[in-house]
Amino acid sequence: MSTGTARAREELFAAHLLGTTGFAAQTVALTFRAALAAAEGALVLLDRTPEPEPAAVVAAFIRHAVRERGLDPEAGRLLRSLFNRSEMANADGAVPQPEAARAIADATTMVDVVAAWIDKSHQVATERHPRPAPPARRRH
């Protein structure tokens, strides 16, 4: 599991805890942070340094991972949607409780898609460039 997807899973866990205790706005914000961590992990895999601004990360993820590398477009759509919902939640904090569950489901789907893509990318890289066996140790 990459650092980005590990962090994303932690954020999803925290979002679930908040979502089940009535903190919808905070849940939406954390689900976006989870999706953002997964997107940053994908960008790092592509040797693209993630920008500090979330909107720039969203744009770079869609451009480089989705359009250029063929990642499922649904992941890009969900990331942008979570970004928009997070911005609205941060603006006024008025988030209906059912939105928390939808945001968790959307972020989970996005993180799962990105994690599978990262795992497959590592598998392909290993198959193309297998590590050489370590040299045999000589006995004295």
Asked whether the predicted pLDDT for residue 32 surpasses 80, the reply is yes
The CATH number that applies at residue 49 is 1.20.120.330
Q: How many domains does the chain have?
A: 1
Report the pLDDT averaged over residues 33-51: 94
Asked whether the predicted pLDDT for residue 2 surpasses 80, the reply is no
Query: Percent of the chain having pLDDT more than 90?
Result: 74
Does the residue 130 lie in any domain? Answer: no
Domain containing residue 40: 3-123
Does the residue 44 lie in any domain? Answer: yes
Does the residue 132 lie in any domain? Answer: no
Does the residue 109 lie in any domain? Answer: yes
Instruction: Read off the pTM.
Output: 0.86
Reduce the secondary structure of the chain to three states and give it as a string: CCHHHHHHHHHHHHHHHHHCCCCHHHHHHHHHHHHHHHHHHHHHHCCCCCCCCHHHHHHHHHHHHHHHCCCCHHHHHHHHHHHHHHHHHHHHCCCCHHHHHHHHHHHHHHHHHHHHHHHHHHHHHHHHCCCCCCCCCCCC
pLDDT in tens, 81-109: 999 999 999 888 889 999 999 999 999 99
Does the residue 128 lie in any domain? Answer: no
